[in-house]
Amino acid sequence: GQQVMQIPQYQHVQEGEDFTTYCNSSTTLSNIQWYKQRPGGHPVFLIQLVKSGEVKKQKRLTFQFGEAKKNSSLHITATQTTDVGTYFCAGPNAGNNRKLIWGLGTSLAVNP
């Protein structure tokens, strides 16, 4: 079945270092969404990418959608302790675009 895979599963960085998580879909996606879940919290929507090759920035976060619309990445520049959490990507199900297929997430730990 359709799958969304994320790597790495875990990442541990020193505060100030950069961080990147990658998302790969087994199928072409019409769009991709990114969420962040703080420890003990709930997923919170960050952004949606729709266009092939799209790049969007939110302060220190840069999101990219691949040309083939099968992969995406989230890059954080100069991580801060407030960036700690799990970052999920999710794409619509090919047969029913109202359902999202979720990656397992990348958990980011930041050493102060």
Partner 1 sequence: DAGVIQSPRHEVTEMGQEVTLRCKPISGHNSLFWYRQTMMRGLELLIYFNNNVPIDDSGMPEDRFSAKMPNASFSTLKIQPSEPRDSAVYFCASSFLAKLSNQPQHFGDGTRLSIL
Rounded to a whole number of angstroms, the minimum distance from the CB of residue 76 to partner 1 is: 20
CB 77 to partner 1: min, Å: 24
Between 70 and 77, CB nearer to partner 1: 70
Strands (E), the chain: 4-7, 10-14, 19-25, 32-37, 44-49, 55-58, 61-65, 71-76, 85-92, 100-102, 106-111
Q: List interacting residues with partner 1 (CB under 8 A).
A: 30-31, 33, 41-45, 48, 88, 92, 96-100, 102-105
| Closer CB to partner 1, 18 or 45, in the complex | 45
| Least gap, CB of 14 to partner 1 (angstroms) | 25
